[in-house]
Structure 1
Amino acid sequence: MATFVLVHGAMHGAWCWRDVRDRLSDAGHRVFTPTLTGQGDRRQALTPEVGVETHVCDLTDLLWFEDLRGVHLVLHSYSGILAGPVAQRADGRLASVVFLAAFLADPGQSLLDVQPPHVAARYLETASAEGDGWRLPASADFLDQWGVTDPALRRWVGPRLTDFPLRCQTEAVDYRADALDSVRKVYIRHTSPALNSLTPFHRRARISGWETYDLCCGHDTMLAVPNETADLLHRISAPETGRPRA
């Protein structure tokens, strides 16, 4: 069976993978769900100094200390921009990188660089006005943005969201342009509702010949459709997985 490292996006934590982790584990897979510094159950470590490099180290340290190999690295949303630096430092430990409704960033780009300009401006303004200039406060507005509509799910997710450090959005990623060339790459798009900010990355994946898949749900796929998300990851990890599809 496969080894998965499931990485959450902004304002989340390992908690969001609970049902996906359990389903994959029940199928016999080895599953790790790290919480990035300053998020979720590690929110006490949230400081202005937490940035992209902090989170890259979180993941590369996990790979090394646990001596993980043949890893299917699943990156949701914000964490997609960590792919290049992690792959470069992973010393051949990755079997694939799965971009789950994720952002992509080329060397020298930050998360805000790859966001639509009006979204980047709103985040900067909010951090300045409401986040002491260094954090983006978590709020129910993000549940609306991510298409989380189920009332019970909103009640469970909302209180668990964590303020997100602005440095994670402004710090550029640093890696060689060819760091991901030898790694299998998969992009999973969500479609109901879609998030327009992610459209360019799905298009890029298609043009580049990556494997692509769709999930009919909102942005937080692991929360909205955990069984379907886990089952798709299981299929992707199987040796007989087919080639790209729309």
Structure 2
Amino acid sequence: MSTFVLIHGAWHGAWCWDGVAPLLERSGHEVVRFDLPGHGEDRTPAAEVTLEGYTDRVVEALDALSGPGVLVGHSLSGTVISQAAERRPEKIGKLVYLCALLLPGGKSAIEASQEDGDSVVLQSAEVDEDRGRIILSEEGMRKALYHDCPEEDFERARRLITPQPLAPLATPVEVTEGSFGSVRRTYVRTTQDRAVSPAAQEKMYTELPCEKVVSMATGHLPFFAAPGELAGHLDSLAKL
């Protein structure tokens, strides 16, 4: 069995895995999850949060494992797991990009999002430059992220969502073929996604090929829309 390290995406926290983690554990896997700096219960001020700080938190978790883990990154955290793979390729058995940003070196998340003409998430976000963060409106949450999720998940998210720090979005990833490129990678594509569009996802995993791509007919939050199906895909990808 595998050890999964589950990394949440923008605005969210470790709480978004509440429906999936028990299913993976029931299948015999170990699960590690935590809040990135500035998210969930971590109170790091948004203006102090960086992509490097995100990566440090993931590397710390990887270093605590007895062997290589399966590193899953959702959405924005595709950049984080790529950076972690650059720093600790030997600690990762497989990377799983969950409707995530799989970017080449030199490209930032904000660049990728601005190129995605079918994404509606930035249209619903308000930039608070003075405090170094982006705030997503409730209307934007529902339209871009929660349109196919159970109402109770949306209501809970309204209480738990935190502003997204700006710096990690604007920082280009720095990856090399020798380190990041040496780690096996897979992709979970979401075909009803309004945040990272299906076309943008396909472009990314075509330009940086993955050994396996699986599709889910959900929006951007499959851990809420179809937790059982997602857990099944993760279990299968870990066994490749």
User: CA contact under 8 A between 2:46 and 2:164: conserved in structure 1?
Assistant: no
Matches within 5 A, 1:191-202: 191-193=191-193, 195=195, 197=197, 199-202=199-202
Matches within 5 A, 1:38-187: 38-42=38-42, 44-64=43-63, 66-117=64-115, 126-128=126-128, 132-140=130-138, 141-149=140-148, 150-187=150-187
User: CA contact under 8 A between 1:146 and 1:219: conserved in structure 2?
Assistant: yes
142-151 or 211-220: which moved more? 142-151
Unaligned runs of 5+ in 1: 242-246
User: CA contact under 8 A between 1:103 and 1:198: conserved in structure 2?
Assistant: no
For residues 47-102 of structure 1, give each alpha carbon's deviation from its aligned partner in whole angstroms, at most 9, with x where no partner exists. 302011110101001111x1342211000000001233211211501110000000
Matches within 5 A, 1:17-32: 17-32=17-32
Q: Where does residue 33 of structure 2 map in the other structure? A: 33
Deviation of the 1:138 alpha carbon: 3.3
Letter in structure 1 aligned against 2:133? R
Mark the CA change 1:28 to 1:209 in structure 2 (over 3 Å): closer, same or farther: closer
TM-score when normalising by structure 1: 0.86
Deviation of the 1:153 alpha carbon: 2.3
User: What CA RMSD, in Å, does the superposition of the two structures yield over aligned residues?
Assistant: 2.5
User: CA contact under 8 A between 1:148 and 1:224: conserved in structure 2?
Assistant: no
Q: SS state of the match for residue 217, structure 1?
A: coil
Q: Where does residue 220 of structure 2 map in the other structure? A: 219
Unaligned runs of 5+ in 2: none
For residues 164-190 of structure 1, give each alpha carbon's deviation from its aligned partner in whole angstroms, at most 9, with x where no partner exists. 111111122223244332211111111
Q: 2-side partners of 1:134 and 1:109: how far apart?
A: 20
Letter in structure 1 aligned against 2:127? A
User: CA contact under 8 A between 2:89 and 2:183: conserved in structure 1?
Assistant: no
Q: 1-side partners of 2:136 and 2:68: how far apart?
A: 35
Letter in structure 2 aligned against 1:40? G
Q: Where does residue 234 of structure 1 map in the other structure? A: 235
Letter in structure 2 aligned against 1:221? P
State the number of aligned residues: 235
For residues 99-124 of structure 1, give each alpha carbon's deviation from its aligned partner in whole angstroms, at most 9, with x where no partner exists. 0000122222211111125779957x
TM-score when normalising by structure 2: 0.88
Q: SS state of the match for residue 105, structure 1?
A: coil
